[in-house]
Homo-oligomer: A and B are copies of this chain.
């Protein structure tokens, strides 16, 4: 298929490479040209402008946040201005429910199709085509882009025809992860202060009731107090919690753990944690208990 790909960051570059490997004819765009070159070496055509990447049946975007996606899609000479009628924009970024709704409306008015398809998974899973994809959009649009999603992820979870629903589900999923981090932080602080070896407690959890990647990954990081280098940086975690609370505000849903997480991130950032992994909020529970760290040494 003739496909454009916009946004070649840690996630996007691996995803685009997987589309190339599957034989799709790819045109890539990234603000900093350096990142395009690696893809060009793999066989991609290089776009000089957003418009250049919008000539095919589908354009995929994978951008950092609301403001980047808003500019690229709705801005002057953006996707809306350039995509031809009937073509599909697949937005795979984690962005707000509100922006997803705005984009859907703008594409509709322009006679274009729109699918929101945010992903769960870290860069290594993106490179290995092992992402989990949450997709929502009109049936004809999702049908067109499904073969592309299959090249990038291990499974697509369909969530109906309303793109904004995919963004809501993605934000709720990230909330589950952040809440797991906070919960592990409190439990490991309690047990560590009580003299229990953190690794042993994590081993118990992940061998019994919580044999899940989320608990293994974050349990290990927290038990070792290892928050650098950041796999997913604290400011990004904070951003997602704020998008969650904005969605909750619009739907009038009080979320006490959501509020607590927001306070934790604000504090982490106020105290200088910009470069730490988002799991460093667990350290705050330890600090509150007078423990310099959860791990023993």
Contacts and interface: CB of A to CB of B under 8 A. Distances in A.
Given A267-B289, A269-B252, A270-B290, A180 B177 contact: no
A259 B263 contact: yes
A169 interface: yes
A254 B187 contact: no
Interface residues of A, number: 72
Nearest to A191: B172
**Interface of A, helix, strand, loop or mixed by DSSP:** helix
A172 B208 CA distance: 14
Contacts of A242: 249
A284 to B, nearest CB: 8
A244 B187 CA distance: 10
B257 A259 contact: no
Nearest to A290: B270
A229 interface: no
Interface string A118-133: 0010000000000010
A72 to B, nearest CB: 25
Nearest to A167: B194
Interface stretch (A15-23, A53-61, A84-92, A212-220): A212-220
Interface in A228-282: 242, 244, 247-249, 251-260, 262-264, 266-267, 269-272
A211 interface: yes
A172 B157 contact: no
Given A180-B183, A190-B172, A204-B157, A289 B259 contact: no
Contact of A254 (B132, B205, B263): B263
A272 B254 contact: no
A187 B170 CA distance: 11
A35 to B, nearest CB: 28
Nearest to A269: B252
